[in-house]
Amino acid sequence: MPSSTQPLDMSRSRVFGGVAEIYDAARAGYPDALVSTVLHYAALEGDRPVLEAGAGTGKATVPFAAALTAPLTCVEPDARMAEVLRRNTTPHPHVTITVSPFEDFRPGDTRYGLFLCATAWHWFDPDRRWNLVHDALTPGGAVALFWNPMGVRDPDLHAALAEVDRRHGLTNTPHAALASAYGDTPGHWPGMLGHWPAVDCAHDPRFTDLRSLRFREDTHYDTAHYLDHLSSVSLYAALPAHRRAQALADTADVVTAHGGRLPVTRCHDLFLARRRT
């Protein structure tokens, strides 16, 4: 996951399909508390439909689909990611999948009661995304944007990983930050400061009832799981094969030398807003 919403090399957004199965197996999901908080805030009426953009393989789609009875439309630009998403949502017939960039998606006459985006908002055109969301929502409809960055809890391990990143010219890797660098405020993590969606939305009179929340968990990766996680990250997936293999091998050596465990604190940061009525 990129560590900020700063302008990105958009070609990196097209590498995920090549690692779709690894992405699905290795990427973290989202806690039940986040799902229930979003749905409580949205207060969907009847079968008011829900729209998810950048659904990927369904790391957020599946828990939301399980909690919803309303139709859920998922927009995913990569056909290979969408294939895994389709498999993962087979138990949920109310889920519909459209293979398309979000910017090209046309809702027609449908207006949604909730817009979801999990760790993908930064891939959308910053000049158009708020307009697209506004136009897709019914008056009073809710917006839920969320990410799940992590910080390394062991300073010595973090320093050793930083040296690997330096040798390979890698920046903003998933282990680039210490857990202690995260503040207590949602959206307060290295790289995100100044880019949290509330910054833009606060100046957009079309939206109201802005809220930011954080759900924290302490967890860990073993060496193999962490290498899979890195392999699913666009920064690594976009590297030439020989450079990627060496960077992953050197990272594995560091984690293994520290007991084969990477202890992390994960912050599930959530932004909520509502289209004005």
What are the boundaries of each domain within the chain? 10-149+182-218+266-275
Q: Using pLDDT thresholds of 50, 70 and 90, give the confidence band for residue 194.
A: confident
End-to-end Cα spacing for the chain: 34
CA distances to 56, 134, 155, 157, 257 from 260, in Å: 29, 46, 15, 11, 7
118 pLDDT above the threshold of 80: yes
Chain segment 22-45, per-residue pLDDT in tens: 999 999 999 999 999 999 999 998
100 pLDDT above the threshold of 50: yes
Residue 16: what pLDDT? 87
Residue 99: what pLDDT? 97
Q: What is the pTM of this model?
A: 0.93
Second CATH level (architecture) for the domain 10-149+182-218+266-275: 3-Layer(aba) Sandwich (3.40)
| Residues in CB range of 172: below 8 A, 6 or more apart | 2, 3, 4, 191, 235
Q: Using pLDDT thresholds of 50, 70 and 90, give the confidence band for residue 19.
A: very high
Q: Using pLDDT thresholds of 50, 70 and 90, give the confidence band for residue 14.
A: low
Q: What SS3 state is found at 262?
A: strand
6 pLDDT above the threshold of 60: no
9 pLDDT above the threshold of 90: no
198 pLDDT above the threshold of 60: yes
Residue 3: what pLDDT? 37
Q: Using pLDDT thresholds of 50, 70 and 90, give the confidence band for residue 4.
A: very low
147 pLDDT above the threshold of 50: yes
Taking the CA atoms of residue 37, residue 43, residue 44 and residue 46 in that order, the dihedral angle to the nearest 10 degrees is 130
Q: Using pLDDT thresholds of 50, 70 and 90, give the confidence band for residue 136.
A: very high
Mean pLDDT for the stretch of residues 76-98: 97
Whole-number Å distance between alpha carbons of 2 and 195: 12
159 pLDDT above the threshold of 50: yes
Residue 2: what pLDDT? 38
The least confident of 12-16, 184-188, 205-209, 254-258 is 12-16
